[in-house]
Amino acid sequence: MYDHFVIAGVAPQGKLDFDDVVTWLHQLQNTGNLLFLLFNGNSRLHIFNQFVFDNLAGSVEEVFHHVEEPWVCVGRNILKPVWYFMASNVVTTRPDGIRLTESPAMSDPSNEVTLNAIDILPDELMINIFKYLPLESILECENVCSRWKTLCRDLTLWRGIIFVFSGKPGQTEVREKTLEILESHRECIRCLKIQYVYSYPVIKSIIEQCPNIISLELVMCRIAKEFEEDITKWSDLRKINLKNSLVLMNNVDVLVPYGNFKYLNYLALSDFGLPAATRDSLLQCHYLSHIFIEKVKNLTLDYVKQLIVNKMKILNALHIYGGDAVDDECLLLLSRCNLLKDLAIIRCENLTDKGLIKLADLKKTRHLQIWNNTVFSEENLRRTLASPNLVKLESLSLSRIDNISPVIVDVISEYYKNLKFLAVYQCPRIINTDYEKQLKSKFRNIETRMSEGKQLY
C-alpha cells in the first residue's frame, strides 16, 4: 500500500472533462491519500485532494485508461504518464500499461538518466508536488537522480518544512536520525523547532548549525541570558516562538533587540522576553502582524495603546494578558484593525459595556477569547454576540464571564454556523444547571468545553 500517490499531467485546453474524471475518482474505494494535479492548455491548475484508493496497483491502469485521450501533448508526440511517489520507491506507468519500478541507474544521483514523463514537468511544478510529501519521502526522492536531488534541496520547498529536534526522554533513536538529517541538510533547514531541551549549550549548538533559518521555535526549553545576543545572528527571522520556555536563572531579564529583525511578522513569548528596556523595539518591527504575549503581565496601558496604534494597519492576531493594561479605549482601537482575525484578552476586569459593544465592529475576526469579567450586562452581551460580524466566528471562548446566560448560548447555537469550538469555562449561570445538560445536543458537531476538565462533543 502506498502512502503518497501523485498523478500529474498537462491537458490541451478544452480536451479534458474534469467532471467525468472527478466522478470516476469518487467511485474508487479507500486506502491511501491521493493528490491529483491537472494542468490545461492555459496552465490553470486543478487539484483534487484526499481521494483514496482501495487497490492502488490495480487502479493504475484504470487511471491511465480514463485520462488517456486528454493527457500530455508535446508537439506531435503524445505522452501519457502516470506516476506516484512512495517513501522508499518511485514507480511509473508507461502508455502500454507496463509498470516500471525504480532501477539502480535512477537511484544514483550522479546518473543523468531520468524518465521522459518527469522531464516534461518544469522545476516549479516538481517543487509544488514535493510540497505535499512529508520530509521522509522528500529525503527518499533525493536518491532518484541529480535533478530531483537539486529540487528536493530547494529553499523554496524547505520554507514549508518544520524541522523538529526533540529532547523528550525515550526518543534517542529519533534524535539520532534527526541529527543525521541536520548534518546533511543544514543549509536547507529554514524552519527550526527545538522542544524539551533543557541544556542551553545543546540548543545553541543546534541553532548554529542552521545558517538559513527564518523561523525559530523554542518550546518547553530552558534559555540562558546569552540567548539575547546569540539570536541576533539570524537577522532574517520571520518567526520567533518562545512559548512555554523558561529562563535558566531567576530575576534575569532577557533583552532581545526585536528591532534587529526587520522582517519579523510572528512573535510568541512566555512570561519573559519583553521587559521595559526592549518593548519599544517591537514598534520598530514594521511587518509584525501576529503578536502572542498573553503571558506577559507587566505591560502598561499606554504601551498597549501605542502598540495597537503602531500595528493597526497590519495586525492579524493579538493575544494579550490585559488587566490594568487594557481598557475600553483599547477595544475601540482594536475595532479599527481591519485585518484582525484572532483576538484574545485574558483578564477583562477593567472592561465595561462601552468597550464590549465595540467587539461587534470586528469585521474579519474568526477567533475570539474574552475572559474574566463581572460587569458586562446580559443584554449587551446578547446584542454584541448576535452582531453580523461575530456570528462568522470559528472559535469563541467566554470563560469566567458572569452574565453569560442560557439565552446568550442559545443565540450562539442558532446563529454561529461556522463555529467549531466553544468554551464557557466557569460561567456561573451555565455550570451546574439543568441547561448545562442540554449543551451536548445543542452543539452536537462542535467541540464544547464547560471547564478545564469537562469537555462535550
Q: Angle, nearest 10°, between helix axes 406-415 and 378-385?
A: 0
Read off the pTM: 0.74
- Dihedral angle computed from the Cα positions of residues 255, 260, 261 and 262, in that order, rounded to the nearest 10 degrees: 150
Give the strand pairing for 290-293 and 239-241: unpaired
The string of DSSP codes covering 91-158 is EEE-TTS-EEEPPHHHH-TT-----HHHHTS-HHHHHHHHTTS-HHHHHHHTTS-HHHHHHHT-HHHH
pLDDT for the residue 441:
72
Q: Which domains does the chain have, with CATH numbers?
A: 4-156 (no CATH), 159-270 (no CATH), 289-457 (3.80.10.10)
Terminal CA-CA length for the chain = 34
Rounded to an integer, what distance in angstroms lies between the CA atom of residue 374 and that of residue 351?
A: 9
Grid cell for residue 456: 462535550
The list of the chain residues with pLDDT below 70 reads 1-119, 440, 450-457
User: 112-131 pLDDT, tens per residue?
Assistant: 444 445 667 888 888 988 99
pLDDT for the residue 452:
54
pLDDT for the residue 109:
45
